[in-house]
Structure 1
């Protein structure tokens, strides 16, 4: 048990590494004072350029993927074969790494919106679940060019993909893997909640599209 506790704590600390903030500092700026004032990959892309946005997305993706994948392997490798105890530890690891990103202890518990880190965790759970969310993100992004809208739709799509991948479309019996679906519902709710300001801007028609770099008057 102690090994599992330490791993979950490590997952939180890994998730808490604020790569966007660190990249901004490396460029001599505090991203919390520029653009949308978020330390996530989208704001990095808008403030520092698409290249740096993609780099931060990849780093945030990896910090979600690596801990969850390693913990899954420690627990036997198969999500479907987990018992309830293993499933509880597994979802604790998933939630810890995403909470680490969204509420990082290194920045007074104010982090990113959790999209890239959640995506990494999804692919660590199942390539089908991660792929389903990614496909939804790409389709919405191509149709609307709104990163925020694509991210929220992808958050919902991952639940549908999980229900299909874990065979809950035809069999609704309670199994340990149901806990995985539950944590994905909670993660989707977290992602959407973190986008609440974007929702207001979408409704007002003032939301920024794509990753177009914008001039920031506050930037020296």
Structure 2
């Protein structure tokens, strides 16, 4: 029962869409109405407000980290095992992708997934983030960086800890990220994908 409750709480935490909340606080347009229509930091950056984009990025990452930290910190008190923490990791990402508070229209999960990985293990998170940064700076495509980081994340986990239930969770998260970037994959292949920092239309 505690595992189910932890999963539900994690989903609700993930359902807080910082792109929408921050944009409203800054008096910006709803990020679901311009650019890629994705409520995430990259699309908020297209509004031209870098501070709003940074706050969105941090908020989405922190909620992923916070959900995993809560489950880990109170694991002994509430009898949560590694399987419970794996469920929490997936649930908070699902909340971001399909948030109950925003009509199930969510972001693509990159920042939240990064926060989850940091919550699982700091070195895992750093390795995955560095992969994203290298590809993003080299090619200027946030989606391409996210896809490559998603592919490498399970490999990093496997090298650090070997096969376990949390590795399964990382695989599931990577699969969700690739799925949410399916249109971006098409755009990349057609040469139509927007680059980081491009203005909204």
TM-score (norm 1): 0.85
Q: In 2 relative to 1, CA 149–119 (structure 1 residues): closer, same or farther, beyond 3 Å? A: same
Structure 1 runs, 4 residues or longer, greater than 3 Å off: none
CA contact 2:28–2:47 (8 Å) conserved in 1: no
5+ residue gaps, structure 2: none
How far off its partner does 1:164 sit? 1.0
Distance in 2, Cα, partners of 1:103 & 1:87:
24
1:49 Cα deviation from its structure 2 partner: 2.4
Q: Return the index of the structure with the highest Cα Rg.
A: 1
The Cα of 1:35 is off from its aligned counterpart by: 1.0
Shift of 1:46: 1.1
Structure 1: 5+ residue runs without aligned partners? 77-82, 169-176
- The secondary structure found in structure 1 opposite 2:83 is helix
C-alpha separation in 2, matches of 1:183 and 1:11: 14
Aligned positions of 1:177-196 closer than 5 A: 178-196=164-182
Residues 72-151 of structure 1: matches in 2 within 5 Å? 72-75=72-75, 86-151=81-146
Q: How many residues align?
A: 198
Q: Residues 48 and 23 from structure 1, CA distance in 2 versus in 1: closer, same or farther, beyond 3 angstroms? A: farther
Tell me, yes or no, if the aligned pair for 2:34 and 2:200 is still in contact at 8 Å. no
Aligned counterparts, 1:153-172, within 5 A: 153-166=148-161, 168=162
8 Å CA contact retained: 1:128, 1:161: no
Q: With the length of structure 2 as denominator, give the TM-score of the two structures.
A: 0.92
| RMSD value, Cα | 1.7
- How far residue 200 of structure 1 moved from its aligned partner, in angstroms, is 0.9
Shift of 1:127: 1.1
Partner of 2:65: 65
Mapped partners of 1:104, 1:46: distance in 2: 22
Within 1, Cα distance between the matches of 2:164 and 2:14? 24
- Rounded to whole Å, the distance in 2 between the matches of 1:5 and 1:148 is 32
SS in 2 for 1:42: helix
